[in-house]
Amino acid sequence: MKNKQLQRKIIDAVDRNRERIVETLQDLIRFESIVMTDPTEAGPGERDCQKYLEGRLIAAGMETDIWEPDADALLSKYRGKPGAQPNRTFLGRPNLAGKLRGSGGGRSMLLTGHIDVVPPGELTHWRHGPFSGEIEEGNIYGRGAVDMKGGVASMLVAAEVLRELHVPLSGDILFATVVDEEIGGMGTLAFADRGYQADAGILTEPTANRIAPLCHGILWGKITIDGIGGHAELKARHWDKGGPVDAIALMRFILRGIDVLNERWRTDPRKNHPLMELSNQIIVTQLRAGEHPSSTAGRAEITIDVQYLPSEKDNDGVGGAVRREVEAYVAALSQVDPFLAQCPPRVEWILDADCAEVTSDHPLIDTFSEACAAASHSFQLWGMGAHTDMGIPTVLAKTPTINFGPGEPSQAHQPNEHVSIEDLLTCTKVIALATASWCL
């Protein structure tokens, strides 16, 4: 957008709406839109949060669509594809879409995010109530402040400001907030399946206002190791004479093997990307073993989070090739130990969340570069180390989508999660400028 006068009007309007941005985020945080451990249950504030946003969209002149997806139908249609998760329900967990129509003939922009948040955890770790939206030293505190209601607040006010300024947009602005992102992305799958698409998209996940044109895919898996239980204080027999065989000792062996593989991946070109700060890793996130304080553990379980890059996706758009790579490694590792060679560990996959990449020569990247310059904000390309929902709109809905949002990503899921008001303001300016330029 070369119109400097319009750019100045947009920037000044966002500055005038500073309090609106702050109050919007506070309102959103106060909805306890928690994703439940049981995915067949609705979080206590998911519907109310979406209804609040729907009211704002209607007031901004948008056509709205709020619906509860059919999880069974989606799973049947997309089984094995990105976002298709079993055992879901959307009762009380609606998706929301809004459309601000342009005059016609221009490029459309999708502004999207999720409103579900992870549970707050131990409340004594919080300086303020996790759903209070308190302000301290220029920061807004609360669960979801960073991940990712801060981004939702920014994209909402950016769209409202463009509407109120009567910016002559030719293309449509498509606004979407989904549920279920924190447990697999089926809400975004439902959005794409409903037929919504645009010429480009902005997913306002926290990037510290860096442009992240790719993210990691993730695989959640569980490695189950069977030993032979027995009395821990007595001399053990050989394993083929009845044992016992300590599953915790076997677990240590597998964990050391994972460490070795991670070290190999650090320098493997297939496991690295120039925009990513770290190589792919197999991250051990949970351990479980043992039945009694005086008994040798008869079973152990290792829960893992395995990262993969867009270049590693299989023909279904997910991480099947990486799943097989991990399975083959665990099988080969087990051959080193005589007992594991006879009783190999079992690898079970719990979740496969896909990834995507928008290439640096896409015109949306140039649009963001210009918007950042107009907002006096440094332009930086960065690889999103965590998973986001960007793959589904990018691939399934043919909407090239980048991550761009306020807040330090490391704040996500932590107690005392907070985002600075200045980050929110900058993000809102860049989104408004980029959207106006794209849709003019």
Residues forming a β-bridge with 228:
245
Nearest to 389 by CA among 187, 117, 94, 90: 187
Q: pTM value?
A: 0.94
Q: Report the distance separating Cα 351 and Cα 323, nearest Å.
A: 11
Nearest-angstrom CA–CA distance, 116 and 114: 6
**Residues designated catalytic:** 116, 181
DSSP state for residue 125 in the 8-state scheme: G
In this predicted structure, what is the pLDDT of residue 129? Answer: 96
pLDDT at position 1: 63
Instruction: Return per-residue pLDDT of the chain as tens, 440 residues.
Output: 668 999 999 999 999 999 999 999 999 999 999 999 888 899 999 999 999 999 999 999 999 999 999 999 999 999 999 999 999 999 999 999 999 999 999 999 999 999 999 999 999 999 999 999 999 999 999 999 999 999 999 999 999 999 999 999 999 999 999 999 998 899 999 999 999 999 999 999 999 999 999 999 999 999 999 999 999 898 888 888 888 999 999 999 999 999 999 999 999 999 999 999 999 999 999 999 999 999 999 999 999 999 999 999 999 999 999 999 999 999 999 999 999 999 999 999 999 999 999 999 999 999 999 999 999 999 999 999 999 999 999 999 999 999 999 999 999 999 999 999 999 999 999 999 999 999 99
- Decide: 306 and 221 in contact? Cβ < 8 Å: yes
Tell me the CATH number for domain 4-215+356-439. 3.40.630.10
- The whole-number pLDDT of residue 137 equals 97
Q: How far is residue 440's CA from residue 435's CA, in Å, rounded to a whole number?
A: 8
Q: What is the pLDDT of residue 240?
A: 83
Residue ranges of domains in the chain:
4-215+356-439, 217-352
The span from the CA of 268 to the CA of 161, in Å, is 46
Topology (CATH) of 217-352: Alpha-Beta Plaits (3.30.70)
Identify the pLDDT of residue 90.
96
- Amino acid letter, residue 197: Q
Say what the pLDDT of residue 2 is.
Answer: 65
From first CA to last CA, the distance across the chain in angstroms is 8
> Cβ distance 282 to 302 under 8 Å?
no
pLDDT tens digits for 326-379?
999 999 999 999 999 999 999 999 999 999 999 999 999 999 999 999 999 999
